Amino acid sequence: MLQLGLGAAALARFCWKHLPRAEISVVEISEEVVATARRWFALPQDDARLTVLVEDARNVVAHPRLRRSFDWLQVDLYDRAARGPVLDDEPFYTACRRLLRAPGLAVFNLFGRRFEPSFARIAAAFDDRALVLPEADAGNRIVLAFNGPPLALPWPVLYERAREIERQFGLPARKWVSGLREQASGQAGLAV
C-alpha cells in the first residue's frame, strides 16, 4: 500500500494496526508533519511493515524510487491552509495509475468547490473507472478509481462484505454501498 500525504497519520495508523499483512509506504513532503504525527498522533516508527519517506509526492509518482507497484494507493494531498488538492492534474493522476497493479485501487480524498474538475481528471486518467462515495459530514468526497480487469459485483455480495467490514473495523461500510447503489440507479450490481 502506498499513501501520498500523511496529515495526522490516521490512515497510516489504521492500516498499520488493522492490516497486519500490509506493507505500508507513506510519502510526506514535510519533515515537520512526520515529526508531529509521531510525537502527537502516535504514528509508529518505521519497521518491517511501515516506511515513511520525506519526499515530494509528485517526484515519487513521476520517478518511482520505491521500485515496485502497489495494490492500494491512498492520496490525501493538501497544504497547511487545506487548499487543494495540491497535485490535481491529469498527468499526476495518470502517474498514480501507473503505480498500481492490475487489479489495483486508488482512493483520493477531495473536498471543496473544485470537486467536479478534480473528479473529471481522475476519471479521465482511469478510463472512466471512477466512483464517488457519499459526501462525508466534513464535506470530504472519497473517489475510488480502479485499475485492471473490469469489476462486477451484485449488491447482495457487496452488502455482505460491508457487514464484515463493519464487524471487523467498525466502519460504516453499508452506508457506502447504499450511496454507490443510489448512484447506480437500477443496476443489478456495481460495475466498473
Whether residue 57 contacts residue 87, with contact meaning beta carbons closer than 8 Å, is answered with yes
Q: What is the pLDDT of residues 82-99, one digit of tens each?
A: 666 889 999 999 999 999
The span from the CA of 13 to the CA of 42, in Å, is 8
Q: What is the pLDDT of residues 35-65, one digit of tens each?
A: 999 999 999 999 999 999 999 999 999 886 6
pLDDT, average across residues 142-164: 96
- pLDDT band at 174; cut points 50, 70, 90: very high
Question: pLDDT at position 27, please?
Answer: 96
The span from the CA of 139 to the CA of 85, in Å, is 14
Whether residue 77 contacts residue 7, with contact meaning beta carbons closer than 8 Å, is answered with no
Q: What is the pLDDT of residues 63-85, one digit of tens each?
A: 866 667 899 999 999 877 766 68
Per-residue pLDDT at 176 exceeds 80: yes
The string over 30-42, giving b where at least 16 C-beta atoms fall within 10 Å of a residue's C-beta and e elsewhere, is: eeebbebbbeeee
Upper half-sphere CA count for residue 80 (Cβ side, 13 Å): 3
12, 33, 98, 144 from 147: Cα distances, Å: 22, 30, 9, 10
Residue located via cell numbers 475510488: 144
The span from the CA of 192 to the CA of 135, in Å, is 20
Question: pLDDT at position 139, please?
Answer: 74
Whether residue 73 contacts residue 42, with contact meaning beta carbons closer than 8 Å, is answered with no
Question: Out of 66-70, 113-117, 160-164, 174-178, which region has the weakest mean confidence (pLDDT)?
Answer: 66-70
User: Which grid cell is 159?
Assistant: 452488502
The span from the CA of 132 to the CA of 154, in Å, is 18
pLDDT > 90 fraction of the chain, expressed in percent and rounded: 78
Higher pLDDT, 86 or 174: 174
Task: Identify which of 177, 170, 158 has the alpha carbon closest to the alpha carbon of residue 18.
Answer: 170
